[in-house]
Structure 1
Amino acid sequence: MTIRITWKRAALALAGIVALALAVGWSGAINVAASSGHWPITNWFLHWVMRNSVGTRSALESPRAAADPQGLVSAAGHFAASCAACHGAPGMRPRAVFQAATPPAPDLARTASEWSDRELYWIIDHGVKFSGMPAWPARDRPDEIRRMVAFVRRLPTMTPADYARLTGGVAGIAGAPRFEACAGCHGADGRGRGQGDIPVLGGQHPAYLETALRAYRDGRRSSGVMANAAALLNDADVAALAARFAALPGLEEAPNGRHDAEAERIVTRGLPDRQLPACSSCHAPGKPYPALAGQKPAYLAARIRQMRGDGKKVDARQSQATMPVIARRIPEAMVDRIAKYLGHTSG
């Protein structure tokens, strides 16, 4: 007997399969307990799909220059505070409660070498569904992701002593005092431990530091690293940290590059033909804005380029959009020169 296949029969068969799947799901027969683990075939299939997806999408979406080894201190501080609990760290085992997940987080000291820089970038940027690996919380900070890629790449050869030096010895330790935890990246002297991506905080206005910390904590200022660091700070913590860091010596009005007349013109007088106000009209002593004189040139240049954003239109009438508008009016050829004029290279 030959059964003739028709569109109607095919549709009924498909509807039956869907109904059966829904019935099994509704019944509760599928065990979703993390304690039960996956069947070996399920575990293989999920990892096979994930690796293929990451390989294809990273080739299409990740930047070719996917790693930046110049900011390992901030990357290490974030890893210690956010990642080590699941993945472990040199000389530190992961916390048992996270290893009881299905799947458990991989030991990056063992598996990082299995991925290319572009693949690591994609995973850190986008996360992985149904694995507990989150996406990077600041969608407009590829610079932070590149630093994390460089740090993860170093893990297979990093010693516990290397890790302790990078984190300052306290970052991510449960119960570490607030100032000491922050000093893991910013340094006990507030000078950012010689890292170009970490600003000098000593000598900054306390009110500005408070405003910045609240903005990171509330999601109004973009940084995956600082948003995580500020997340658990209450208002009293914010005020105390701002006062302590601001009281440290650091920023000083002794910038290099005084011979750069064009940079000096923009800083002191602006460019009226481009509707670009002078930097000093806001960033001067007594103003409620950050002090720039003596800040690290690398940090200043990076901040200007970050504030330009992705080219989307912004409304200059909104207070939070003021600097993006101004930053876009600075000629690209002048960004590094202005930063050098304002900054210094001794920090």
Structure 2
Amino acid sequence: MLITWKRAILGLLAAAFLGLAVAWSGLINVSASSGHWAISDWFLHWVMRNSVETRSALGSPRDASDPSGLVSAAGHFAASCASCHGAPGVKPSPVFQAATPPAPNLMETAPEWSDRQLFWILDHGVKFTGMPAWPARERHDEVRRMVAFVRLLPTMTPRRYEELTGGVARLAGSNTFESCAGCHGSDGRGRGAPDIPYLGGQKAEVLMAALRDYQSGTRQSAVMGHAAARLSADDMRDLSTRFAAMPGLKATAAANDAQARQIVEMGLPAKQLPACASCHVPGKPYPVIAGQKASYIAARLRQMRGDDKEIDARQTQATMPVIARRIPRDMIDRVARYLAGEAVGPTRD
């Protein structure tokens, strides 16, 4: 039979119509209980692996892992991930294992991926599976901490997992003080983790506003967004009041750094940078920052800076990003340490 352009086009149209007819008929079985054909399962995983390898090589940062925040990563994993993937000493839920495909056991599969590949999977998720993208799209610092935690899972003992989660694994889904203390500590001091702030001594209304913002998504964090998602207004009030009443933040003996003191106490008028002390003092409705962890202050300032695009403070209610961008980059850590009362290298008057 002679194949002409007309016959080829008609053949393609007929094949497309037949495919649509089969899809419309409902004959294709999309039930999870039916599983995949072996060839389909192989093909989908082959495509996924190739995609991750290519895209992680092009898009993942080279510093894809940060082991400094294992406590917050472990708490989030216990609350959000362990029900699907399991954890050391914790079996995954049979409900999620009945998905097609079931979530992999990371204690076995994590070594198959590089840090950059794990970063890409955690950050972007995987289509056609239950693996979601990281919900706080700008929080690559959280993704890096989770990469470091997942990397340790194959050699992590149940006891170590329990230590990192602070017992929150037993309380996943609970709105109790104990579930929050799994990361923040029963004393509100963050269990020594550099990325978890001191809550004790903070203003209750500041903590309450933060929880509301995390719940609404106004303030970005996958970890805190999940923790706040199911809190009622009464839960937020009770937790904020309890943590705020603990000993904690207070003015400390300031490090002798004249340049940092200038920014904190007087600002930089030439850069239109107001003094930190003009807002963050008793009697004003802003967070207490004196005595806060230097690592946390510095990380927050960098998060607030975002890109270097200047935004006029008159055009946005979020004034801190504007202020943070006006702090010289090389002064961020020094200002943070000054506020925390830590020594900062060579001293100058």
When normalised by structure 2's length, the TM-score is 0.96
Deviation, 1:321, is: 2.0
Matches within 5 A, 1:103-182: 103-171=101-169, 173-174=171-172, 176=174, 178-182=176-180
Q: Which residue of 2 aligns with 1:231?
A: 229
Within 1, Cα distance between the matches of 2:216 and 2:78?
22
- SS for the counterpart of 2:318 is helix
Question: Could you tell me whether the CA contact under 8 Å between 1:70 and 1:147 is conserved in 2?
Answer: yes
- SS for the counterpart of 1:57 is helix
Distance change >3 Å, CA 94–CA 326, structure 1 → 2: same
> What root-mean-square deviation, in Å, do the aligned CA atoms of Structure 1 and Structure 2 show?
1.4
Question: Could you tell me whether the CA contact under 8 Å between 1:86 and 1:99 is conserved in 2?
Answer: yes
Q: Which residue of 2 aligns with 1:24?
A: 22
AA matched with 1:251? L
AA matched with 1:161? R
Within 2, Cα distance between the matches of 1:268 and 1:290?
16
Matched, 1:305 2:265: no
Q: Which residue of 2 aligns with 1:341?
A: 338
Q: Which residue of 2 aligns with 1:34?
A: 32
AA matched with 2:141? D
AA matched with 1:81? A
Q: Which moved more, 1:172-181 or 1:51-60?
A: 172-181
Deviation, 1:11, is: 1.2
Matched, 1:73 2:71: yes
Deviation, 1:174, is: 4.3
Question: Could you tell me whether the CA contact under 8 Å between 2:175 and 2:230 is conserved in 1?
Answer: no
Q: Which moved more, 1:177-186 or 1:59-68?
A: 177-186
Deviation, 1:107, is: 0.2
Question: Could you tell me whether the CA contact under 8 Å between 1:67 and 1:146 is conserved in 2?
Answer: yes
Within 2, Cα distance between the matches of 1:335 and 1:133?
36
Deviation, 1:316, is: 1.4
Corresponding residue pairs, total:
343
Write the deviation string for residues 316-337 of structure 1: whole angstroms up to 9, x where unpaired: 1255420000000000011000
Quick one: which of 12, 15, 26 aligns to 2:13? 15
- SS for the counterpart of 1:249 is coil
Question: Could you tell me whether the CA contact under 8 Å between 2:172 and 2:179 is conserved in 1?
Answer: no
Deviation, 1:8, is: 1.7
Deviation, 1:312, is: 4.5
Within 2, Cα distance between the matches of 1:246 and 1:67?
32
Distance change >3 Å, CA 51–CA 319, structure 1 → 2: same
Question: Could you tell me whether the CA contact under 8 Å between 1:296 and 1:345 is conserved in 2?
Answer: no
Gaps of 5+ in 2: 344-349
Deviation, 1:177, is: 5.0
Q: Which residue of 2 aligns with 1:55?
A: 53
AA matched with 2:337? K
Write the deviation string for residues 71-119 of structure 1: whole angstroms up to 9, x where unpaired: 0000000000000000001001000100000000000000000000000
Q: Which residue of 1 aligns with 2:346?
A: none
Question: Could you tell me whether the CA contact under 8 Å between 1:81 and 1:172 is conserved in 2?
Answer: no
Matches within 5 A, 1:266-285: 266-285=263-282
Q: Which residue of 2 aligns with 1:323?
A: 320
Matched, 1:216 2:247: no
Distance change >3 Å, CA 6–CA 313, structure 1 → 2: farther
Distance change >3 Å, CA 117–CA 174, structure 1 → 2: closer
Matches within 5 A, 1:287-306: 287-306=284-303
Question: Could you tell me whether the CA contact under 8 Å between 1:78 and 1:225 is conserved in 2?
Answer: yes
AA matched with 2:186? A
Write the deviation string for residues 287-320 of structure 1: whole angstroms up to 9, x where unpaired: 1111110000000001000001133453412554
Within 2, Cα distance between the matches of 1:256 and 1:282?
18
Write the deviation string for residues 135-155 of structure 1: whole angstroms up to 9, x where unpaired: 000111100000000000000
- SS for the counterpart of 2:171 is coil
Question: Could you tell me whether the CA contact under 8 Å between 2:75 and 2:169 is conserved in 1?
Answer: yes
- SS for the counterpart of 1:203 is coil
Question: Could you tell me whether the CA contact under 8 Å between 1:171 and 1:182 is conserved in 2?
Answer: no
Question: Could you tell me whether the CA contact under 8 Å between 1:296 and 1:344 is conserved in 2?
Answer: no
Question: Could you tell me whether the CA contact under 8 Å between 2:310 and 2:322 is conserved in 1?
Answer: no
